[in-house]
Amino acid sequence: MKYVECIRYNDTAVINTLLNGGLTMKPLQGKVALVTGGSRGIGRAISLKLASMGADLAINFFRNRKPAEETKEMVESMGVRCHLIKANVGDITKHEGMFSEIREVFGGLDILISNAASGVLAPAMELEEKHWDWTMDINAKALLFLAKHAVPLMEARGGGKIISLTSQGSVRVIKNYTMVGTSKAALESLTRYLAVELSPKNIIVNAVCGGAVDTDALTHFPNREELLANALAHSPAGRLVTPEDLAHAVGFLCTEEANMIRGHTLVVDGGESLPLA
């Protein structure tokens, strides 16, 4: 394809290839991303995916520094910068310090991935107020207040992307999942409201919903084996969802090609949730 034809058809990928001597730039080159809970499991997979796409990373973790340091080393091996921030995102008094560090280290922010999650697994009638507060603070409230700090940094750079991680318990009843499922439903609702309110600022908000993923977090489920077996039995894809599957979806939503997807919860479950006859 000739250069003039590239312009005519607005083939930006080809144009970039030509202008860079045949080397296509990574789609997130020059971007800065914050991944909460980004040191292990799904969060680590997302961190590595964004790094492979050229983004510099601020990785938030809460308790264990060792896996955070391991993830940092893997990210930096891809030729991008990485900064670790220890904080409980459920405590909104810690947010200002987190974003001050990001501003100091990177000068701004383009992408916020709200991935950190926690929760109490118990029947509804056994839940206590403290269980509600803990789960809702980390899984739902954190997104709103993280966004409030992220938005000014994103506006200064012309816009940004905010993506949260949710689960099928937001719309389906899963045993012992009352508290987490309720918090994820709130998260998805907040995603829609933020998407509308922040669109004029060129800040695009979405969520990614995964099927059953065999991570360390799932070991806390008393019916873990049953959940995994049921997910596999009902998956048209014939396998379980992996952290990398979710990371690929997040990576896509961070690109310009996904700019017209807004306020959407992208389901990545291999078809497990389809209402099959």
Q: Which residues are catalytic?
A: 177, 184
With beta carbons less than 8 A apart as the criterion, state whether 59 and 83 touch: yes
Provide the greatest CA pair distance for the chain: 68
Element (H, E) at 7: helix 3-8
Can you tell me which residue has the tokens 């899984």?
A: 139
CA atoms within 13 A on the CB side of 93: 0
Residue type, 127: L
Strand residues in 147-273 grouped as ranges (E): 160-167, 203-210, 265-268
Residues 191/192/196/201 CA torsion (nearest 10 deg) = 20
Q: What's the CA angle centered on 226, arms 49 and 214, to 5 degrees?
A: 15
